[in-house]
Structure 1
């Protein structure tokens, strides 16, 4: 039972972190269907290692500010 509670807690923590990223990116007021489409498009684009590196650099820069 404790293992299940720990899994649920970890899942909730991850969702909170991801929600925080959405807010930090200024996308909190975007309609859900558009946001999901944006994320799906990004998922496909990061398959290119060069684009993935560009995204990572930009994200690291935002975390510093």
Structure 2
């Protein structure tokens, strides 16, 4: 049974990573260097901790982008 749980957990983890990669593509950043993407995400994490309003602003932008594609 533990092998099944491990397999299910791995499948879930893989699916989540694929979905997150899809966000990079959706944002038009597919061809950016990985170091730049990681730097941008680390900077974003820092800004979100410092400014709660930034989270709400970016969430609204993302929700609108999903709405434009019917997701």
The interval holding the TM-score normalised by the smaller chain is over 0.9
The reply to whether residue 24 of structure 1 matches residue 53 of structure 2 is: no
Unaligned runs of 5+ in 2: none
Distance 2:29 2:45 in 1: 17
User: Rg larger in 1 or in 2?
Assistant: 2
The 4+ residue runs of structure 1 with deviation greater than 3 A are none
TM-score by length of 2: 0.89
Normalised TM-score (structure 1) = 0.96
Superposition CA RMSD, Å: 0.6
With CA pairs under 8 Å and 6+ residues apart, which has the higher RCO, 1 or 2? 1
